[in-house]
Copies of this chain bind each other. A is one copy, B any other.
Amino acid sequence: MILLSIDPKSKTPAYRQIEVGIRKLTDDGTLKSGERLPSTRLLAQKLGVDRTTVVRAYQELWASGVVESRPGSYTTIRHRLPPGRTSPSAPAQPAKWVEGPPRSKRLYEDFTLLRGKHRPAPAGGVVDFSGLSADRGLCPARDFLRALKVLVGEKGREILDYGDPQGYLPLREAVARRMRTHGVRVDADEILITGGAQQALDLILRWLGSPGDPVIVETPTYGLAVPLMRFHGLTMRSVPLGPEGMDLDVFEKTLKRGKSAMVYTIPTFHNPTGLTMPPAARERLLGLCERAGVPLVEDGFEEELKYFGKAILPIKALDGSGAVLYLGTLSKVVFPGLRIGWIAAHREAIQRLLAVLRFSCLSGNIPAQAAVARLLERGEYEHYLRRVHTAYRRRMETLLQAMKAHLPQDRVEWTTPAGGYTLWVRWTGRRPVDEETLVARLLDGGVRVSPGRFYFPGPVTETAFRVSISNLDEAAIGEGIVRMARVLNGIRG
């Protein structure tokens, strides 16, 4: 029998006293490896404590590797490694191969650069216009849980098992219905559910892009697409963005420079600029891609965040030849942490993408997909979307009004989005200003923005920054723009 006692007057809880006691007896060799501990019932009785106290102590000992327990058997002291063979600590220096090949090295550099892009905030705090995640305050936490609970009740454990790697069928059906409301006629078998729009893009690049292939992108473009394409060994051919989206004359010439693996565009509420490509330009872009036999990747990540003016149909709605691979996401309306996005494409294309998904991660998170499907089916999604619309429309109006009222129009110009979260501010003062200086001075003045250079795959051709309203209320937006104006006015234009 082991020697242990409990001091009832001690501030240390009883379970901890038991845990420490047994640990000591193990360390000094009193309890040897393989030795049985008394049953929890017996020890509790001997020590005059509740049995749950002993259970807790044994759990702690188990969790830290001191004891082990086998089904239907006693708890025993864990077999220790012989000294000198005891699990070594990690060396300070990693092995040489850690850097990986050049493309991995470069990706890591991009990663650390992006991670470090934000200097610490000044003492007075900042208004942060740099984020791009949906305002979690607008997301339906309780409804999500309720949906999950109902599903487990209805479907049982099936819902937590491996599921259809193409995505939970009712979710694919709901997404297809949702796409039809945007004028895109697709069925569930033309949808692949992905871990957000980012995985969707990655899957397409893995499937269609071979190292050395050119990819046509608009410039500026989505910041996280640039290092990813580079990692895939793709060469980015930039087409400048005008007020009506990609400059199609330049695009046409770029197409003729030789076969590209794909064209990547964000025609609606473009990130970072907030610009939307008009219908006629969409038609021309699609026609050019079709004739050149080049797939068109349409990133519609903010498709549903239209606040002002008439709806413009996605390019996918015009696609009669299967030229368009459409990326969508629910991360802007329901919770981003659920990681639910999709690709809508020709069913043959979907099967190819499914093969890549299957081997790279087996399948997605089925319970999350099923819960979200339920929110879509029951029209609750539409309800959240309204709430999100109302909130973001007000914020965008506030932003645009404040900018008009306060910013010096001889020094900066900016875009006027019809939806989404972001707009683009460009330095137009007569004296050039370095972007890093500009962004740093804004931060010193209490405003954080996203530096423009992160959105250029090649040379940075303008001094600009991105402003996002996704996580700021109207008061903060107003205050932020006043601060921004103060800084801009203080720079010699």
Q: Which residue on B lies nearest to A34, using beta carbons?
A: B310
Min distance, Cβ A305 to any Cβ of chain B, angstroms? 12
Q: Which of A50-99 contact B (CB under 8 A)?
A: 59, 62-65, 68-72, 78-79, 81, 85-91, 94-99
Residue among A110, A112, A360, A379 with max Cβ neighbours from chain B (10 Å): A360
Interface check A248, CB cutoff 8 A: no
A352 vs B108: C-alpha distance in the bound complex, in angstroms?
Answer: 6
- How long is the Cα–Cα vector from A379 to B103 in the complex, in angstroms? 42
- Proximity bits, A166-209, B CB within 8 Å = 1, else 0: 00000000000100110111100010000110110010001110
Shortest A474–chain B CB gap in Å is 16
Question: Please, which residues of chain B bring their CB within 8 A of the CB of A103?
Answer: 210
In the complex, A420 Cα to B454 Cα: how many Å?
48
A65 near B149 with CB under 8 A, answer no
| Residue on B nearest A382 in the bound complex, by CB | B62
The answer on a CB contact under 8 Å between B161 and A336 is yes
The 8 Å CB contact of A347, one of B69, B90, B294, B337, is: B90
* CB proximity of A264 to chain B, nearest CB, Å: 15
Looking at the assembled complex, report how far the CB atom of A283 sits from the nearest CB atom of chain B, in whole angstroms.
9
A15 to chain B: closest CB distance in Å?
A: 12
Q: Does A452 contact B (CB under 8 A)?
A: no
In angstroms, Cα B318 to Cα A89, docked, is 10
Q: Is A231 an interface residue (CB 8 A)?
A: yes
Q: Give the docked Cα–Cα distance between A52 and B390 (Å).
A: 24
Verify A185–B87 contact, CB threshold 8 A: yes
- Specify the chain B residue showing the minimal Cβ separation from A151: B145
Could you say which of B349, B363, B378 contacts A339, with CB atoms under 8 Å apart? Answer: B363
Please provide the chain A residues from 324 to 339 with a CB less than 8 Å away from any CB of chain B in the complex.
335-339
Interface status of A255 (Cβ within 8 A of chain B): no
With beta carbons under 8 angstroms apart, the residue of B59, B71, B145 that contacts A148 is B145
Distance A266 CA – B227 CA, assembled complex (angstroms) = 33
Residue A256 lies at the interface, judged by CB distance under 8 Å to chain B: no
Instruction: Name the segment of A136-144, A238-246, A461-469 touching the other chain.
Output: A136-144
Q: How many copies does the complex hold?
A: 2
A322 engages B95 (CB within 8 Å): yes
A351 proximal to B (CB < 8 A): yes
Supposing A64-B177, A81-B183, A337-B367 touch, asked if A346 and B100 sit within 8 A by C-beta, the answer is no
A278 at the interface (CB under 8 A from B): no
Q: Say whether B202 contacts A96, CB under 8 Å.
A: no
Asked if B198 and A362 make an inter-chain contact with CB atoms under 8 angstroms apart, the answer reads yes
Contact B186 A157 (CB under 8 A): no
Contact A152 B142 (CB under 8 A): yes
> How far is the CB of A390 from the nearest CB of chain B, in Å?
4
List chain B residues, Cβ under 8 A from A186. 90
Contact A185 B141 (CB under 8 A): no
> Which residue from chain B places its CB closest to the CB of A155 in the assembled complex?
B141
B65 touches A180 (CB 8 A): yes
A202 contacts which chain B residues (CB < 8 A)?
359-361
Q: Does A133 contact B (CB under 8 A)?
A: yes
Q: Chain B residues near A364: list those with CB within 8 A.
A: 195, 339
| Contact A319 B158, beta carbon cutoff 8 Å | no
Q: Are B162 and A104 in contact (CB-based, < 8 A)?
A: no
Q: Using A157-B141, A160-B144, A322-B91 as known contacts, say yes or no to A107 and B356 having CB atoms under 8 A apart.
A: yes
Q: Which 7 A-B pairs have the closest CB atoms?
A: A88-B320, A111-B355, A59-B379, A160-B335, A94-B348, A337-B366, A87-B185
Assuming A69-B382, A70-B389, A157-B335, what are 11 further A-B pairs, CB within 8 angstroms? A59-B382, A71-B386, A88-B185, A88-B319, A90-B190, A94-B349, A104-B355, A198-B360, A224-B359, A339-B362, A368-B368
5 contacts between A and B (CB under 8 A): A95-B346, A108-B355, A195-B362, A199-B360, A224-B362
